[in-house]
């Protein structure tokens, strides 16, 4: 595999429909710089993403973005991180061989000694399959809404508005929704 700045979809990797998993006791860990370029990837990440560490380092973390992952969730992620807050999110990723894998991601800003933002750190665990069954139809609706917009920023905003509406109907926030699923209680 050669190093490239393109995402897997641009390199020709297409989702195969094959789902990959990893152990309940394993943690996927990555660190990125302020631009989201990978500066560290643990062996679990390399194995599950089907990519070598040398091919990952320096690449945008979006190299593993799955086309069925809503832009709205990433907008929420970046907005939250921009305010130096952490976020937990359910994410489906695309491996270098076309397989996909779900994670419960915990993404935090990394701060320097003076409190300045220096990068980001993410730990990902294997989510409960029941949580994914709750998340998938919501994400499908968000992606469908986003696909109606030609500009990426418009798509993300439209998805964000729909996500807000869907969560408001449930009387919950995204954080509360994620934690209700993580704790086995549907919101």
Residue 58: inside a domain = yes
Residue 3: inside a domain = no
* Residue 32 contacts residue 109 (beta carbons within 8 Å): no
Alpha carbon distance 174, 187 (integer Å): 10
Residue 178: inside a domain = yes
Taking the mean position of all CA atoms in its chain, how far away is CA 33? 16
Query: Tens of pLDDT along 58-102?
Result: 999 999 999 999 999 999 999 999 899 999 999 999 999 999 999
Alpha carbon distance 104, 123 (integer Å): 8
Residue 120: inside a domain = yes
Q: Cα dihedral sign for 178, 97, 63, 148?
A: negative
Q: Which two tokens stand for residue 115?
A: 């409190």
Residue 5: inside a domain = no
Residue 6: inside a domain = no
What is the domain range of residue 68? 12-182
Q: Residue 13 has what pLDDT?
A: 87
Order of strands across the sheet that contains 117-125: 38-41, 28-32, 117-125, 100-111, 87-94
Backbone angles phi, psi at 40, to 5 degrees: -155, 140
Alpha carbon distance 54, 146 (integer Å): 33
Residue 88: inside a domain = yes
Band of residue 4 on the pLDDT scale cut at 50, 70, 90: very low
Count how many domains the chain has: 1
Alpha carbon distance 167, 42 (integer Å): 34
How much is the pTM? 0.90
Band of residue 1 on the pLDDT scale cut at 50, 70, 90: very low
The DSSP call for residue 106 is E
Q: Is the pLDDT of residue 139 over 50?
A: yes
- Give the list of residues 6+ apart from residue 160 with CB closer than 8 angstroms, or none: 72, 75, 76
Average pLDDT over residues 134-157: 97
* Residue 30 contacts residue 38 (beta carbons within 8 Å): yes
* Inter-axis angle of helices 174-182 and 129-146, nearest 10: 150
Alpha carbon distance 7, 49 (integer Å): 13
Helix H or strand E encompassing 176:
helix 174-182
Q: Residue 10 has what pLDDT?
A: 38
Residue 33: inside a domain = yes
CATH number at residue 77: 3.30.450.20
Q: Which two tokens stand for residue 75?
A: 């907008």
């Amino acid at each position: 595999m050669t190093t490239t700045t393109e995402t897997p979809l641009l390199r020709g990797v297409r989702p195969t429909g094959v789902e990959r998993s990893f152990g309940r006791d394993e943690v996927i860990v990555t660190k990125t710089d302020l631009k989201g370029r990978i500066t560290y990837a643990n062996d679990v990440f390399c194995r599950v993403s089907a990519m070598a560490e040398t091919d990952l380092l320096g690449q945008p973390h979006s190299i593993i973005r799955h086309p069925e992952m809503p832009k709205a969730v990433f907008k929420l992620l970046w907005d939250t991180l921009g305010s130096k807050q952490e976020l937990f999110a359910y994410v489906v990723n695309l491996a270098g061989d076309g397989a996909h894998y779900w994670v419960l991601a915990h993404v935090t800003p990394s701060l320097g000694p003076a409190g300045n933002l220096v990068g980001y750190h993410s730990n990902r665990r294997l989510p409960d399959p029941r949580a994914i069954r709750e998340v998938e139809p919501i994400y499908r609706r968000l992606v469908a809404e986003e696909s109606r917009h030609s500009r990426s920023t418009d798509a993300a905003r439209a998805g964000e508005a729909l996500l807000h509406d869907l969560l408001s109907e449930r009387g919950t926030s995204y954080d509360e929704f994620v934690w209700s699923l993580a704790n086995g209680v549907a919101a």
